[in-house]
């Protein structure tokens, strides 16, 4: 059979959807399919997945994508997924028990126990993380107490992406960027921290050999080939943690590249060299882990639930997003006497933090357009405030790549460029994770030389707006400082 094109599959097993996309050597999308990620909710507020359902849904998405690729040769597969969540397997390599979702709150009951045994700073210097309920260690502790029969049967454990790779290849491996989200991986030694595992009674046999991203972990078995329609012998790569794979997928490949992902929640991912973890005298508000690129690390910093604030505003006003954009087109985001002051406030140690925000100024004289403009301006101030956290730790921020749903708001993006007084690159590739996974698989097999970069639009700052927003930012700092002073009294 003569093939018209060679393609690379990227799998993105995410919180809400499982996506499979095919890209050619130029990084062009040739096929895509998505299905909903099956999840279940318990009476006590828990959220979990079932391994067989994740596998069957992934197979369905693969089949749907492959059906679009008639005449194309699938040369490799890369798999990314949500981090922290994983599958316990028994002695026969069959799944046992549920997969606690990364956002399942129930393991939070063990936070105090974990902090008492190992100080947060010690955790951070070893793992790049501070204790939170989402990390895998807390899930292990929950399973040990609440499902002892399941725990006692378990002989191995795999993150979701690693489990899908196991189903395809029969090989069990753990990838570094995913291991970096367990609270049990030593990012200095690039291996499991068996001292931490012993401290919490975690069986070392559960933890699989660690491999870097962009390394072939096996090839598609005959049985899996029959299920998926992927040719037997096709090489498989575990791409890694979806946030980091997505940053790579949209072009965040160099030290100093910062990816600003803007959805309901907003994050900053910065590519960095290896850091001296002993330099930290206290735990910072960002986490550090192994990047999907060799000999590189990343910082991951939450900006806040900024998209959620906009959704709240639309709910209150009764507007749709088009009405918001039309209103903003008539306003000047850089000028107004009205202020909006968002801040993430609370105890991050117990995760009892909430997205705070308040309006200030002559509210009784304000009309909805001014409120909308003030909201966007305040969100831009919050963005700069969080970017400055990286600056305080001398983390390079040479290039800023913005992606996600909020990047389609031109007034918000212009405001970000203005308040930083530097250009932004807007990357409109909604499948950055799947794209990154596909490219990493091609690189692992040396099928691809130069990494194809998706197209982007550059937003340059307006000098006059930058000057005016400087005054707003100073006012923002004064207001949140006052709020903190009042909140501790």
Q: What sign for the dihedral angle of Cα 426, 432, 437, 438?
A: negative
pTM: 0.93
Across residues 139-148, what is the average pLDDT? 97
pLDDT for res 265: 87
How far from chain centre, in Å, is Cα 189? 23
pLDDT for res 348: 52
d(CA 381, CA 362): 20
Q: How confident is the model at residue 350 (pLDDT cuts 50, 70, 90)?
A: very low
Across residues 2-14, what is the average pLDDT? 86
d(CA 110, CA 139): 9
Where does residue 399 rank: exposed (0-12), middle (13-18), buried (19+ CB within 10 A)?
middle
Q: Which residues pair with 11 in a beta bridge?
A: 20, 79
- What does the pLDDT look like over 107-124, one tens digit per residue? 999 999 999 999 999 999
The single-letter DSSP state of residue 363 is G
pLDDT for res 1: 45
d(CA 238, CA 253): 18
Hey, where are the domains in the chain?
5-246, 303-423+460-487
Average pLDDT, the chain: 93
- What does the pLDDT look like over 40-74, one tens digit per residue? 999 999 999 999 999 999 999 999 999 999 889 99
pLDDT for res 346: 61
DSSP run (H or E) holding 394: none
Topology classification of domain 5-246: Nucleotidyltransferase; domain 5 (3.30.420)
Q: Give a three-class secondary structure readout of 230-252.
A: CCCCCEEEEEEEHHHHHHHHCCC
Q: How confident is the model at residue 4 (pLDDT cuts 50, 70, 90)?
A: low
d(CA 161, CA 350): 28
In 3-state terms the chain splits into helix, strand, coil percentages (rounded to 5) of 40, 25, 35
Q: How confident is the model at residue 485 (pLDDT cuts 50, 70, 90)?
A: confident
Q: How far apart are the first and last CA of the chain?
A: 75
How many DSSP H helices and E strands does the chain contain?
A: 16, 25
CATH of domain 303-423+460-487: 3.30.420.40
* Tokens coding 443: 């690189």
- What does the pLDDT look like over 245-294, one tens digit per residue? 999 999 998 999 999 999 888 999 999 999 999 999 999 999 999 999 99
Q: Is the pLDDT of residue 215 over 60?
A: yes
Percent of the chain scoring above 90 in pLDDT: 84
Top mean pLDDT of 162-176, 293-307, 435-449 is at 162-176
Q: Is the pLDDT of residue 96 over 70?
A: yes
Q: How confident is the model at residue 218 (pLDDT cuts 50, 70, 90)?
A: very high
């Amino acid at each position: 059979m003569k093939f018209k094109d060679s393609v690379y599959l990227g799998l993105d097993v995410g919180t809400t959807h499982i996506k499979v996309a095919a890209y050619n050597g130029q990084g062009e999308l040739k096929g895509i399919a998505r299905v909903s990620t099956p999840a279940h909710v318990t009476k006590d507020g828990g959220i979990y997945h079932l391994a067989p359902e994740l596998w069957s849904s992934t197979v369905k998405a693969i089949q749907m994508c492959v059906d679009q690729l008639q005449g194309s040769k699938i040369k490799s597969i890369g798999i990314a997924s949500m981090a922290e969540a994983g599958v316990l397997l028994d002695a026969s390599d069959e799944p046992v028990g549920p997969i606690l979702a990364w956002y399942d709150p129930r393991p939070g009951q063990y936070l105090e126990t974990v902090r008492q045994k190992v100080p947060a700073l010690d955790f951070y210097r070893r793992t790049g993380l501070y204790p939170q309920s989402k990390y895998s260690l807390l899930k292990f502790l929950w399973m040990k107490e609440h499902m002892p029969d399941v725990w006692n049967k378990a002989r191995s454990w795999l993150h979701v992406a690693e489990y899908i790779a196991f189903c395809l290849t029969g090989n069990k491996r753990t990838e570094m960027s995913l291991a970096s989200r367990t609270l049990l991986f030593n990012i200095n030694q690039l291996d499991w921290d068996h001292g931490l595992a012993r401290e919490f009674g975690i069986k070392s046999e559960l933890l699989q050999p660690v491999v870097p991203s962009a390394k072939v972990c096996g090839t598609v078995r005959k049985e899996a080939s029959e299920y998926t329609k992927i040719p037997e012998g096709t090489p498989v790569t575990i791409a890694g943690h979806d946030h980091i794979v997505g940053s790579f997928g949209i072009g965040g490949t160099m030290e100093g590249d910062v990816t600003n992902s803007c959805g309901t929640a907003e994050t900053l991912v910065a590519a960095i060299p290896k850091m001296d973890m002993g330099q930290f005298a206290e735990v910072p508000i960002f986490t550090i882990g192994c990047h999907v690129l060799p000999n590189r690390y990343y910082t991951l910093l939450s900006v806040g639930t900024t998209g959620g604030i906009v959704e709240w505003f639309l709910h209150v006003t009764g507007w749709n997003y088009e009405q918001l954009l039309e209103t903003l087109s008539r306003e000047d985001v850089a000028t107004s006497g009205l202020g909006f002051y968002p801040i993430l406030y609370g105890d991050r140690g117990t995760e009892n933090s909430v997205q705070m925000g308040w309006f200030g100024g002559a509210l009784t004289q304000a009309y909805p357009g001014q409120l909308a403009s003030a909201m966007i301006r305040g969100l831009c101030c919050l963005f700069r405030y969080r970017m400055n956290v990286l600056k305080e730790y001398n983390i390079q921020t040479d290039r800023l790549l913005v992606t996600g749903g909020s990047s389609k708001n031109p007034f918000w993006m212009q405001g970000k460029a203005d308040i930083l007084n530097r250009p932004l690159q807007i990357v409109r590739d909604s499948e950055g994770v799947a794209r990154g996974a596909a490219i990493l698989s091609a690189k692992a097999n040396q099928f691809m030389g130069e990494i194809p970069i998706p197209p982007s639009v550059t937003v340059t700052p307006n000098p006059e707006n930058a000057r005016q927003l400087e005054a707003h930012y100073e006012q923002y700092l004064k207001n949140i400082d006052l709020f903190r002073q009042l909140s501790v009294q």
